[in-house]
Amino acid sequence: MGQKSAIEWTDHTFNPWWGCTKVSPGCVHCYAETLSSRYRYDVFGPRKPRRTFGEAYWQEPLKWNRQAVQLRTRMRVFVLRWQMFLKIITVLK
Ligand code: SF4
């Protein structure tokens, strides 16, 4: 989610959507699918609807950037924890 992350090596996480489709043997033990299931979101598979977020969510990175400027620091943001962005390119081919 777009909250302060509990992951120690990052400050925030940002996920434009949750969900993906398994396409290779490397997907067998998909971490993102396991976590999605734990939160009871059925978002994995070629025809499953993805979980998306509203306008406020998309404003979060801008807020973090303002905070970083104010604090004169850099913030680390873990992007795409719950999906694979390059899969979109695969689907569109
Ligand atoms: S998130 Fe990664 S491991 Fe999981 S299904 Fe998508 S490509 Fe495979």
- Is residue 59 a part of any domain in this protein? yes
- Is residue 30 a part of any domain in this protein? yes
CA separation (Å) from 67 to 12, 39, 60, 93? 12, 29, 11, 39
Q: What is the pLDDT of residue 93?
A: 44
Q: What is the pTM of this model?
A: 0.73
- Is residue 23 a part of any domain in this protein? yes
- Is residue 46 a part of any domain in this protein? yes
Q: What is the pLDDT of residue 3?
A: 54
Which residue owns the Cα nearest ligand 1 atom 4? Answer: 30
Domain that holds residue 87: 12-92
Phi, psi of 18 (to 5 degrees): -110, 135
- Is residue 6 a part of any domain in this protein? no
Number of compact structural domains in the chain: 1
Q: What is the pLDDT of residue 92?
A: 47
- Is residue 72 a part of any domain in this protein? yes
CA 20 to ligand 1 center in whole angstroms: 6
CA 73 to ligand 1 center in whole angstroms: 32
CA atoms within 13 A of residue 49's CA, in its CB half-sphere: 4
Read off the amino acid at residue 72. Answer: R
The whole-number mean pLDDT for each consecutive block of 10 residues of the chain, a chain of 93 residues, reads 70 89 91 90 93 93 94 89 56 46
